[in-house]
Structure 1
Amino acid sequence: MSQDENEVKYKWNFEVAEEFGEIGAVLVENEHHNEMYLKNIALMGSLMVLFVLHAIHGLLQNSNLELKRPVLGGKEHSYPRRYRTGRPQCKTASLETAIVDTNLGFPYFTTLDSLSNEGVNLPPLHKNGFLKDLLPRLVKFISDSQEDILRFETPALVEKDKFSWFRDEEFSRQTLAGLNPYSIQLVKALQEKKLFMLDYHDLLLPYVKKVRKIEGTTLYGSRTLFFLTPNGTLRPLAIELTRPPMDGKAEWKQVFTPTWDATGCWLWRLAKTHVLVHDSGYHQLVSHCNLELKRPVLGGKEHSHPRRYRTSRPQCKTVSRSSTVYVPREESFSEVKQLTFSAKTVYSVLHALVPSLETAIVDTNLGFPYFTTLDSLSNEGVNLPPLHKNGFLKDLLPRLVKFINDSQEDILRFETPALVEKDKFSWFRDEEFSRQTLAGLNPYSIQLVKALQEKKLFMLDYHDLLLPYVKKVRKIEGTTLYGSRTLFFLTPNGTLRPLAIELTQPPMDGKAEWKQVFTPTWDATGCWLWRLAKTHVLVHDSGYHQLVSHWLGTNCATEPYIIASNRQLSAMHPIYRLLHPHFRYTMEINALAREALINANGIIETSFSPAKYCMELSSGMAVDDPTSPHGLKLTIEDYPFANDGLVLWDAIKQWVTDYVKHYYPDPSFINSDEELQSWWTEIRIVSHQDKKDDPWWPALKTPEDLIGILTTMIWVASGHHSAVNFGKYAFAGYCPNRPSIATRKMPTEDPSEQELKNFLNKPEAAFERFNGKLKELEGVIDDRNANMSLKNRVGAGVVPYELLKPFSEPGVTGKGVPNSISI
């Protein structure tokens, strides 16, 4: 009938018989893919019903108590350390039709065989081609004139020998060469070392009573004894199954052995089946856990940062969201946001693209062998897998890829990053290396060397930060690390010039500390050593940018503010209403990052030099000057990030000032606002327990205190995040400009004769007022980008600094400052 942003109205006419009487209730069933909040039902006359619905992401009353599980990662069950996931899987109707009773399973072995031989009918998904690519090893398709058939691939074990699983020899063999070779143990009580055991007795016995209460399943504790034969194979001797005392019955225990009589033979086979069930569960839940993916717990006593959202609330049965990490429903993506950011779709499609991208390089461990190989991603492109969804992918990644329709094949071409499009070799020069410390992806790290009064020397210092990780990282195959310091000189024209780079490797593996200073030089070897040293510094800067300036400094820093605001401020509180737009979607985007970006062996760990220690690692450029426009005098006057950021900061501060003074004209209002004081107390004491007594915390006693606190929060979620996030493709899309991982040490660090020879032969490796201020900033930035005297932001082949331009046209443009961290 009608629809606006938050409300949908439906109107129906019903014929109600006269003898029905007065309408007492209306039953409404929601078949939409998201949950809906039914606001009201209006009966007009007796024949018309008007429904008013609010779309939200789930209802508390829909929580299914059957899905309640104990909290993992807490005191009672300390492992595994992770967020709770585990949504129930949907049943596939087509597969259910292949068996008689879903509670009993497959009634005959021939029913199992039919999955590979005859197959089952496919539902009308209209996506068979895509599904075929998605599950190439699992299913095979036969095009039929009337219907689509799904046939499962015959497992290799069955294809080799259909009845091998039936025999004791194979049962024993798979304890050594099957899915779970971790559980077989030597019985140490015997000196002969001939007896071995699978022991699931003590592990499973506490769960027998619980599991047996679940309809359709059972469980025992089990021990299985094997004998090592002279030919080196194992022979099963006995299986003991145990049921503890329960339901008024005494303990039941029985030992089964191989036998020749028919009944005993089938009992032995059934006992083996129970053992295989236990072994399969142990394999999937315990053995399958990769110890290589173990990471320290963040947000606790040892690694107190970043602060993480924690919950023990069970998932609702019908909750639909993009992330499997729990996110409070009020923080989840809206339907519109969900459509524009389908993280799971992006993840799936990019995984399908990876094999095609890998064909563009010779060795995935070495990376791109030549610069021309990198260029070919934009020029020639790579073949696309047959996804039959190119149009959809094009919409999904509009700035990243461009597609060319070919009569024979589909080609994927990456967009040329703006930096390379402006000047293909700008990244190669010292000037651009220096400029990007002020107007690049990470303008937060450059520091003044305060020991000198002239204020002409500046430094990127990653020495003390990275040195403790050098030894750890170097143990990981295919990567290396140094501590580094880079010294810059401020020239008379306001640009920085690199003077020297110091790389340090601490004492390790019986070798003394290695340290070397590299400087710009004119001889060929020294020139390439300088370039390689710059590459290592860029790797360090890329890692610090992604892990500290970006993830820790914006996404993580904002999360405790969001939690405290929702816990302590009512929805009608003026400060909640001010902050809410700046906290929009941040919890959801952080949850997605924990799933696919910062997770163990995820994109961040595999792409940045600290590797598996990335998250562990993530755990003054101005002086006061009242005569300057913003109360600060920049040491480097042509500092694009700082110049634009100060204008934006002032606009935010003015808006906050007008807002706060409207609601808190008197300091007494601040002190008497219990919600506000509880909010600030939670942020300081609960969210930052280890920092609660630090002297730098601002008090919250006056409107000026509140203005400073709120301005900082809004700046972090908007300006800070925009500066470190939206230039990624422009600056880092061409990896030589922003390499993120180093695979080889410097050629001068304990070089072998062959390494040195290789290097010498081939070296390259009020709101209207606020809005007006923002529009004013647009013009200021445009004027600055046209000012030829500002060499850090304008010049031949220089990408204009637009990361803090407040407005942007639709799409990922590298400019525009969103309210919140929502991407």
Structure 2
Amino acid sequence: MFCREASSSLQTLSIANSLSSQFTKPSALINSLSAGHHYKLCPRPDLKGRCTVTASKFDINGKGKIVKEEVKKIKVKGTITVLSQEKKKKGTIMAQEGLLPSVGESLLVELISAETDPRTPMEKDPVEDYAQRDGHDDQYLQCVFDMPEDFGVVGAIRVVNLESKEIFLKEMKLEVPDGPVTFTFNSWVAPKSDDPTKRTFFSNKSYLPLKTPEPLKQLRKEESEGDHEFKKFERVYDYDVYNDVGNPDEDPELARPVLGGLSHPYPRRCKTGRKPCVIDPSTETRQKDFYVPRDEEFSKVKGDAFTGTAALAALPAALQQFEAFLLDPNMPFPHFKSIENLFEEGIEIPKDTGLFSLIPRIFKAIAAKAEDILLFESPILLDKDRFSWIRDNEFARQTLAGLNPYCIQLVREWPLKSKLDPAVYGDPNSLITSEIVEREIKGVMSFDEALENKRLFMLDYHDLLLPYVNKVRELDDSTLYASRTLFFLNDDSTLRPYGYGGYFPNRPTTSRKKMPVEEPTEDELKEFYEEPEKTMLKTFPSKKQATTVMFTLDLLSAHSPDEEYLGENPEASWVHEPVIYAAYERFKGKLQYLEGVIDERNLNVSLKNRAGAGVVKYELLKPISGPGVTGMGVPYSVSI
């Protein structure tokens, strides 16, 4: 290369001009666009500081001399909004992330043009400046760029965090001559000590791959690449199969098949880039912490809401405290009233346990003189009808209402038969006979009429669960049944909302004992006939199991204060595309119409499933919700 100083680029062009006259083929240095049709131009070389180029225009006068013309520059002001400092509140932890120091340069900001240089079909030189605090306001950073007036549209912004900790960038506004331009960030940026590479943010305008401006293509490629083990601060959004279920390196018996692909179809998980196991390369090694893109981790407001002050971390500790005051973790509830006491009288916890600093929203705390009382929040339907959950028609209604709707099938063949191997699992014929069905439907119609009129439906877990029954029963204090349930469709069929969340007798998550009619003893049968309620409670989860599940289900069912719902706010890139934004507005309008239909039907007293004594309003599909367990709202992400 001829480059040694800023003016050497002109010397190079002068020499190339004289040399090009000796050849018929045009020189790429003089007519780069013409040469570009014949040769693939190499990317700009990295000269490692050996050459600096001054922004300028050039032209060739009539005598063949190169005339240099300085490019005019304009001042472009940029304002970056960062995570504002949160005031320390009682019972909360001050958010240290994102807070900026009082002095010094915080960010190196670089603007990338979306246009190529018309003289050399390469990207234009970026412009940069250091962003600093705006006075005493730690929410804004200011920078001023000396931008060539022919810089073109800013297609990307690259940032280097010069601080010692990560910061959260919300957005950046550039005051360009054509009007202010906003870049939406909403992302964490790791400090340079962790990630020395420049963090790239693209404009709000979306591009299809073929229409992506040339200067941005390589940046896009760099953003999406990654074949190493990802670190916390990286932003690799990719999918992988569930190949980390087992741990064959620890024990060959812990090897598990890969979930995903043709042999075992399954949804994908977030890619982590971890190393393969030594014994089984198809399995990925496991670690304590799983990689999650930094921006997908819980925000502080969501974390605080989810945990009370630290719920996920505190949940194991809280459960240990519960186990400590439960004299016997396997102890069953003695009667149904003791279950109701969880909601009515609560649990007495001594003040010195420290549990109140850990509890989530599920509890209501009541201060007493000597002790604190924890009350589980009562389900709506439990307040209206304590034992409606035990009735067969309510069980059928709940099944239709969403717990198992896709598992229900129309009965098309009779008698019912298992498809499992009879040599292993015995007689395939079901013990449910047509006589039993006719007795249960109480003479409304004959069995043949019910089958012909498509009034019989079935929830069948028999073949699915039977292979696991013996394995589960080998566990202490556990049992399992492979059940079939028949449903008869009444003329007066209704569908009402499900309002038993947190009340475990309605849908217990485990069964601890076999039914007394299976391998019964004389004492068990006697107790069953005399006190069937006591026998039933022994099959239910223990006190420890029940409270653990009630904790967990409530935490997973609660909406975060910063939950994002379908149709609530458009993505920044959608607003800049008229076709996409119009489609979003139509979708939002349909959701609002749906909400109106739901409200209208809830007020219709003629609908038995919507109005009346003991009936909860249907609100499940109302698009937007407030925080907490509300029974409404359709968020982008659903846990359970």
Normalized against structure 2, the TM-score is what?
Answer: 0.46
Higher gyration radius (CA): 2
Q: Which has the higher contact order (CA 8 A, sep 6+)?
A: 1
Normalized against structure 1, the TM-score is what?
Answer: 0.37
The structure that is helix-richer by fraction is 1
